[in-house]
Amino acid sequence: MNAPFPESPSPAPQGEPLHLLIAAPRGFCAGVDRAIEIVERALARYGAPVYVRHEIVHNKYVVDGLRAKGAVFVEELDEVPDGAPVIFSAHGVPKSVPAEATARGLDWLDATCPLVSKVHRQAERQIEAGRHILFIGHRGHPEVIGTLGQVPEGSVTLVETEEDVARLDFAPGTDLAFLTQTTLSVDDTASIIAALKARYPEINAPRAEDICYATSNRQAAVKAIAGDCELVLVIGAPNSSNSLRLVEVAQRCGARAQLIQRADEIDPAWLTDIGTLGLTAGASAPEELVREVVALIATIRPIREETVVTTEEKMVFKLPRQLMD
Ligand code: 0CG
Ligand code: SF4
């Protein structure tokens, strides 16, 4: 029998090649790798269903993939049935959450990124030292809720902007300390800290930067390409703080910037009149989605792909002890 006649391939795109600048580092950080591995190992150990409180990381593709393997995502612990294992997301949880899980006798695992846990411990130490904390972060973000929930109510004040700093009314000489969310804009945070230090010169600063290595490296990487790009695509979710910051950084470099979750959100019209396109991905966006975007773009314009590396990352975090054997 004759082989079926092959379908004719769609014609390759014609015209001027689009220069595609891909930022590196981009995509998964060590905390995201670890959190996803915790869910996968828990599924292997306990079998499905394994409950996860909040999206393990802020990415629908990752969450859908784990859901297909038997993870059940909930927002609150009271949605977890008695006797079921539960994992806390990479963003961290208030102290009340593990306390409640223990009280209910639930088998729980903590996928909080170690760099978020480090900020939790600093918050406790500042309170033990008798200081009031000014916490720089975005109201309502799960990491902020988790960090504020490490210390007694009333012992921390959230600061989102320089205007918030101007509105503070602590008496001069009040024993203050500041801490920050891990996924903030490096530049905005520097301005807020400068404003805090100007108002309260004695304020206690964290020993090391709270903004994590992945957040600052991805911002530096997008800065290195954005000035040469007419448009920068950032792969990430609308609830992903670190991804939103990459959009802002690119815009401040003078590029148009667009957050997209998947390749199918790209409007071909965005690509017709430009010479250079930038591409990066937030810390919770997998490399598969970057390749999917590149493949889609290549169906619209011929591309000349170039990766711009600003630093190499080698960070790896240990898994929780319960999952090591
Ligand atoms: O950037 P945020 O904190 O919103 O989280 P996301 O899940 O996007 O990325 C890393 C983590 C945790
Ligand atoms: Fe940890 Fe930073 Fe990754 Fe958040 S973005 S999970 S703090 S390494």
Instruction: Tell whether ligand 2 has an atom less than 6 A from the beta carbon of residue 119.
Output: no
Q: Do the domains 114-199 and 30-113 match in fold?
A: no
* pLDDT at residue 2 greater than cutoff 50: no
Q: What is the assigned CATH class of domain 114-199?
A: alpha beta
CB 119 within 8 A of CB 179: yes
Ligand 1-lining residues (CB < 6 angstroms): 31-32, 57-58, 90-91, 113, 143, 183, 240-243, 282-284
In this prediction, residue 207 carries a pLDDT of: 87
* Residues contacting residue 216 through CB under 8 Å, at least 6 positions apart: 186, 209
Tell me the pLDDT tens digit for each residue of 135-183: 999 999 999 999 999 999 999 999 999 999 999 999 988 999 999 999 9
Domain spanning 30-113: CATH 3.40.50.11270: yes
DSSP 141-193: -HHHHHHHTTS-TTSEEEE-SHHHHHH--PPTT--EEEEE-TTS-HHHHHHHH
Name the pLDDT band for 8 (thresholds 50, 70, 90).
low
CB 259 within 8 A of CB 244: yes
The domain 18-28+213-309: what is its CATH number? 3.40.1010.20
φ/ψ of 52, rounded to 5, equals: -125, 125
pTM of the model: 0.96
Tell me the pLDDT tens digit for each residue of 106-132: 999 999 999 999 999 999 999 999 999
Instruction: Measure the CA–CA gap between 319 and 238, rounded to whole angstroms.
Output: 28
Distance 192 CA to ligand 2 centre (A): 21
In this prediction, residue 320 carries a pLDDT of: 97
Q: Indicate the domain borders of the chain.
A: 18-28+213-309, 30-113, 114-199
* Residues contacting residue 172 through CB under 8 Å, at least 6 positions apart: 200
Per-residue pLDDT averaged across 11-37, rounded? 95
Distance 306 CA to ligand 1 centre (A): 26
